Amino acid sequence: MNLSSFVTCYPARLPARPSDNPDQDRLLTQADGVVNLVESGAAAALAQPTCKPGTPEGKALWVIVRDGVPAIVERAPNVCVPLQSGVAKHSNLTGAGLASCGGECWVDAAVESRLWVNGGSGRYGPRTPQELVDAVAVLMALGYDVISAGWSIDNDWPERTFREV
Amino acid sequence: MKSDAQLLDDVLGPGVGETPEERAIVSTRRFVRGLDMLTAEVSEKARGRRLTATEALESYGFGVLAEVAAEGSAIISESVDAAGRALRERRDRLGLDIRAVARRTGLAPVVIEAIEASKRRPIREYERVARVLGLDERMLSFQADPATNERLAVRLRLLRDEGAGLSSGTVATLAEAAWVTTVQARLQRSLRLQSGDISFQPLAFFGSWDMPAYQVGYDLADKVRDALGRTPDQPIDSLRDVAEKRLGIMVLHAELAPEIGGATVQSGDGSRAIVLNIAGRNQNVYVARSTLAHELCHVLFDPPNELRELRVDAYAALDERPDQVTDRVEARANAFAVQLLAPQDGAVRLYDETTEDPLDAVLDHYGISFTAARYQIWNGKRRGIDINSIRAVRGQPDPAWEGRERYTASWHPLRELGDHPVRAGRFSAVVLRAADVGLISYDTAAEYLCTTQPALELAASQIRELYADVFMEAVPIIKLVTEPSVGQVASVQALTVKVGG
B338 shares a domain with B298: yes
Mean pLDDT for A88-103 is 97
CB pair distance less than 8 Å for A159 and B37: yes
Given B47, B75, B103, the domain boundary residue is B75
B316 shares a domain with B218: yes
CB pair distance less than 8 Å for B32 and A150: no
CB pair distance less than 8 Å for B71 and A17: yes
C-alpha B30/C-alpha B68 separation (Å) is: 11
B141 shares a domain with B154: yes
B161 shares a domain with B280: no
CB pair distance less than 8 Å for B47 and A165: no
C-alpha B169/C-alpha B173 separation (Å) is: 6
Q: Is B415 inside any structural domain?
A: no
Q: Is B279 inside any structural domain?
A: yes
Q: What is the pLDDT of residues A5-26, one digit of tens each?
A: 999 999 999 999 989 899 999 9
Q: What is the pLDDT of residues B408-462, one digit of tens each?
A: 677 899 999 988 999 999 999 999 999 999 999 999 999 999 999 999 999 999 9
C-alpha B356/C-alpha B158 separation (Å) is: 50
CB pair distance less than 8 Å for B33 and A162: no
**pTM summary value:** 0.88
Range with the lowest mean pLDDT among A108-117, B38-47, B401-410?
B401-410
Q: Across the strands, what pairs with A65?
A: A68
pLDDT score at B491: 28
Q: Which domain holds residue B126?
A: 82-190
Q: Is B86 inside any structural domain?
A: yes
Partners of B77 on chain A (C-beta within 8 Å) are: 161
Given B75, B101, B128, the domain boundary residue is B75
CB pair distance less than 8 Å for B36 and A163: yes
Partners of B122 on chain A (C-beta within 8 Å) are: 153-154
Mean pLDDT for B235-262 is 93
B273 shares a domain with B217: yes
Q: Is B210 inside any structural domain?
A: yes
Mean pLDDT for B34-47 is 93
Mean pLDDT for A30-46 is 94
Q: Is B492 inside any structural domain?
A: no
pLDDT band, residue B481 (cuts 50/70/90): very low
pLDDT score at B266: 83
B301 shares a domain with B171: no
Interface of B with A in 306-325 (CB under 8 A): none
Mean pLDDT for A125-152 is 97
Q: Is B369 inside any structural domain?
A: yes
pLDDT score at B42: 81
pLDDT band, residue B496 (cuts 50/70/90): very low
pLDDT at B480 over 50: no
Q: What b-and-e string marks burial along B397-434, b requiring 16 or more CB atoms within 10 Å of the CB? A: beeebbebbbbbbeebbbebbeebbbbbbbbbbbbbbb
Q: How many CB pairs under 8 A join A and B?
A: 84
B249 shares a domain with B397: yes
User: Which of A17, A125, A154 lies at the smallest CB-CB distance from B35?
Assistant: A154
In three-state secondary structure terms, B466 is helix
- Could you give the number of structural domains in chain B? 3
Residue ranges per domain, chain A?
3-154
C-alpha B222/C-alpha B214 separation (Å) is: 12
User: Which of A54, A121, A164 lies at the smallest CB-CB distance from B120?
Assistant: A164
Confirm if B290 and B320 have CB atoms less than 8 A apart.
no
Q: Which amino acid is at B228?
A: L
* DSSP 8-state class, residue B421: G
pLDDT score at B363: 93
* Predicted ipTM > 0.90: yes
Instruction: Look at B30 and B473; give whichever has higher pLDDT.
Output: B30
Mean pLDDT (chain B) is 87
CB pair distance less than 8 Å for B48 and A155: yes
Q: What Cα–Cα distance (Å) separates residue B152 from each residue in B90, B158, B253? A: 11, 10, 19
Partners of B142 on chain A (C-beta within 8 Å) are: none
B86 shares a domain with B71: no
Given B75, B94, B129, the domain boundary residue is B75
Mean pLDDT for A129-141 is 97
Mutate to test the interface with B, among A147, A154, A159, A161 (most CBs of B within 10 A): A154
CB pair distance less than 8 Å for B73 and A161: no
Instruction: Look at B195 and B203; give whichever has higher pLDDT.
Output: B203
pLDDT band, residue B196 (cuts 50/70/90): confident
pLDDT band, residue B120 (cuts 50/70/90): very high
Q: Is B156 inside any structural domain?
A: yes
Instruction: Look at B399 and B255; give whichever has higher pLDDT.
Output: B255
Find, among B93, B198, B81, B111, the residue nearest to B155 by Cα: B93
User: Which of B1, B33, B72 lies at the smallest CB-CB distance from A17?
Assistant: B72
